[in-house]
Amino acid sequence: MSNEAIDQIKQAWAQAQSRWEAARPGLQPGVAALDQVKDRSGLAMLQSMLNGELPSSPIGHTMDFFAVEVREGYVAFQSQPQRKHLNPLGGVHGGWYATLLDSALGCAVQTMLPAGRGYTTAELSVNIVRAAKPDAGPLRAFGKVLHCGRQLATAEGQLVGPDGTLYAHATTTCLVFELPKKA
């Protein structure tokens, strides 16, 4: 990839980060009521969250990440590591990597589910291959579904910088289940 292309990606990611940070105080994190989501496919639910029609995820606000792309079998989240994400030794805490990747992988699975179905993470494996620092700029976690069956789904993902630098990669197995009929 050329330096010019990398600079364009960095600029686009920085703009996305700035837009989210500006909008964040007005966003209402929360958990959608069962009545709001029971008739929506997983993809429709996530697209509604992305468009602001449903509340955004509390964990996204807690860990400072947001969705930038949602399509069938694929989700991308963006975050910028910050000082508050550091462990006692001054490195970005492994839980930050794991939370971003778990969210991207799980939501990618969610995009494949019909109305009335949900999921939960049954297994998550994260491999951190490069240290992220607060001055690294925005990073993106990409999740892609490998298999989605009636009871189990699997997905893989990566956490990368705008130049394609790999920071971590992960896989998950999710348990797929029927949502309760009543709240």
Asked whether 109 and 153 are in contact (CB, 8 A), the reply is yes
pLDDT per position in the chain (183 positions), as tens?
Answer: 788 988 898 898 888 888 877 777 777 788 988 888 889 999 999 999 888 888 888 999 899 999 999 999 999 999 999 999 999 999 999 999 999 999 999 999 999 999 999 999 999 999 999 999 988 889 999 999 999 999 999 999 999 999 999 999 999 999 999 998 775
Structure tokens at 95: 């839980």
- CB within 8 Å of 137: residues ≥ 6 apart: 10, 13, 14, 80, 161, 162
User: How many DSSP H helices and E strands does the chain contain?
Assistant: 5, 6
Asked whether 104 and 77 are in contact (CB, 8 A), the reply is yes
